[in-house]
Amino acid sequence: MEDNNKQTETPQQEQVIQQEPKSQTPGKWYVIHVKTGYESRVKKALEQRIKSLGVEDRIFEIVVPMRETVIVKKGKKSKVMEKVFPGYVLLKMLLDDDTWLVVRTTEGITGFVGAGLKPTPISDKEVAAIMKFVQQEQPRFKAKFSVGEAVKITEGPFADFLGTIESIDDEKGKVRVLVSIFDRETPVELDFLQVAKL
């Protein structure tokens, strides 16, 4: 089953998604709820509707917060763009009846996030924090391992040994595995690529 949280974007789309919000534009930031996995399609559809209905002067920015993550799958590392908030899109706009209708009636959008029927804006500070998180320099590693899981070491001096994961460091892409050597459990730090699930 495909993970809707991950999506590979072209370099041009990455630049658009990861650009800093334009703080000098008027309006407030709102969060819209969309069908999970359809964030980029909804963004494109909404951009087309904004142009065709002539509300470019009131809806300014659409941002799908994404960040680069390194996934270890079947012993290989690959970089993917991972959605930070699956099912949500940020939107900077001047809210009135026309803009609300344009956004609300776009296919794939299920509604605004807010109390009751009234959309609630989020602060520029919150948007800046989201963008700072998205633009962090070092890509995160993400592996399908969990603490306490039994694994087989595939590379290095302990190749073919079995062990149990004691800890996981997603930032460095490392796992600490307890390996039984001479009837004693010894911790060994390994790269995600050096272990495999049993």
Domains and CATH numbers, the chain: 6-142 (3.30.70.940), 150-197 (2.30.30.30)
Give me the pLDDT at residue 23, please.
53
Tell me if 141 sits within 8 A of 193, measured CB to CB.
no
Tell me if 4 sits within 8 A of 87, measured CB to CB.
no
Give me the pLDDT at residue 70, please.
76
Q: What is the three-class DSSP state of 135?
A: coil
Is the C-alpha dihedral spanning 35, 38, 41, 47 positive or negative? positive
**H helices, E strands: number in the chain:** 4, 13
* Residue 97: closest CA among 118, 82, 76, 124: 118
**Which two three-digit tokens encode residue 131?**
């963008």
**Can you list the residues of the chain whose pLDDT is less than 70?**
1-24, 73-75, 137-143
Give me the pLDDT at residue 26, please.
82
Q: What is the three-class DSSP state of 148?
A: coil
